[in-house]
Amino acid sequence: MRQRLGIASALLGDPPVLLFDEPVNGLDPEGIQWIRTLMRQFAGEGRTVFISSHIMNEMEQTADHVLVIGRGRLVADLSMDEITQRSVQSHVRVVSSRSHDLIPHLEEKGALVTNRIPDQLTVSGLDAASIGAIAFEHGIPLNELSTQRASLESAYMELTNDSVEFRADSGSTTDVSHFQVIAR
């Protein structure tokens, strides 16, 4: 309740720009939904809503636009869709009994094909619609064609790879990067 009360008192002046720092900290699930709805409502009214948070899965559900700042420099200024699509972990999963017949046609169009296990491919560099069109053109039936998007956390880790002073795998958890999200 203290978190909700603090947010409510900050809104008394009806500000056009709102800045929240870890707004869901200490809230129960109902409170998290309340603040998420409130922030989206404010953004829908044309207000600017800044959220600074390290809770990536919450930001993925709340924000429309992401600013990533590492070592005091702007690393990315992208929509949520763009930031996850650009991640190397985003790909298209292709399942077909003739998936291996599809590989040369995909690579010819510039795709990177990995995970060549029987009947399944992992493809990056082409979207699902393009892959489907190529398969159709060559008479290769598909059982599954699905876009697999990276999480915001994995996209963030990629973007800030060069902006951290110490890495988690080196035993230190000191991180000098900072994450901010703008909900529009």
Q: Stretch 36-41: mean pLDDT, rounded?
A: 89
- pLDDT for 59: 82
The fraction of the chain above a pLDDT of 70, given in percent, is: 87
Mean pLDDT across the stretch 129-137?
A: 96
pTM higher than 0.85 for the full model? Answer: no
In angstroms, rounded to a whole number, what is the distance separating the alpha carbons of residues 17 and 4? 18
Task: Give which of 124, 62, 113 is closest to 89, Cα–Cα.
Answer: 124
Residue 120's pLDDT is 94
Residue type, 150: A
Would the pLDDT of 125 be above 90? no
Looking at CATH, the fold of the domain delimited by 91-148 is given as: Alpha-Beta Plaits (3.30.70)
Which sequence spans correspond to the domains of the chain?
Answer: 2-81+151-183, 91-148
For residue 66, the model assigns a pLDDT of 83
Among candidates 146, 140, 139, which has minimal Cα distance to 122? 146
- The angle that helices 128-137 and 99-108 make with each other, rounded to 10 degrees, is 110
CATH number of 2-81+151-183: 3.40.50.300
Q: Is the pLDDT of residue 160 over 80?
A: no
pLDDT tens digit sequence for 49-104: 888 888 888 888 888 888 887 778 888 898 888 887 777 677 899 999 999 999 99
> Residue 167 has what pLDDT?
55
Question: Residue 130 in 3-state DSSP?
Answer: helix
pLDDT band at 173 (very low <50, low <70, confident <90, very high): very low
- The residue-averaged pLDDT of 27-51 equals 88
Q: How many Å separate Cα 152 from the centre of its chain?
A: 3
pLDDT reading at 140 higher than 90: yes
* Whole-number pLDDT of residue 178: 45
User: Residue 163: what pLDDT?
Assistant: 63
pLDDT recorded at residue 143: 96
